[in-house]
């Protein structure tokens, strides 16, 4: 025999999924990721950027440009300089322009040893305002 279950005038059965526990878990995970992300410290160096806008330099305030090529040759004013004569050349150019700084344009393939040699020569002369730029040549 067939069994019929008739529910006259009664409550209808609910077949819905309760999402409240799932939302609780999602909010707990969100709070966890926010808290852990704030404690992550990325490695790097602090860069001190100038506050004032960069202005055009006058010829008397021009910089001493030193280029280091890929084969570690040093050029000042498009002349190749021997590393032993580097300090005297920087000293002469700094005496002509005491307000100028040294800008080193190092090629990506040049060695760090040559870069440090140029920086040490500039510091030995008394120039402490040294900038490093990447050269494309």
Q: Give, in order, the Cα–Cα distances in Å from 46 to each of 22, 43, 101.
A: 43, 10, 21
How confident is the model over 72-94, as a mean pLDDT?
A: 89
Residues whose CB is less than 8 angstroms from the CB of residue 43 and which lie 6 or more positions away in sequence, other chains included: none
pLDDT digits (tens, 9 = 90+) for 36-74: 876 666 677 776 766 666 555 555 457 888 899 989 899
The pTM of this model reads: 0.54
Domains in the chain: ranges and CATH: 61-135 (3.30.420.270)
- Retrieve residue 24's tokens: 């609780």
């Amino acid at each position: 025999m067939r069994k019929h279950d008739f529910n006259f005038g009664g409550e209808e059965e609910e077949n819905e999924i309760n999402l409240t526990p799932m939302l609780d878990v999602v909010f707990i995970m969100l709070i966890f990721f926010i808290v852990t992300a704030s404690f992550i410290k990325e490695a790097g160096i602090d860069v001190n950027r100038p506050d004032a806008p960069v202005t055009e330099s006058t010829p008397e305030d021009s910089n001493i440009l030193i280029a280091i090529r890929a084969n570690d040759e040093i050029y000042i004013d498009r002349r190749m300089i021997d590393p032993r004569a580097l300090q005297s050349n920087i000293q002469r150019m700094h005496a002509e322009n005491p307000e100028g700084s040294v800008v080193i344009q190092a090629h990506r393939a040049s060695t760090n040893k040559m870069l440090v040699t140029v920086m040490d020569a500039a510091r030995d002369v008394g120039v402490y305002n040294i900038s490093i730029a990447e050269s494309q040549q």
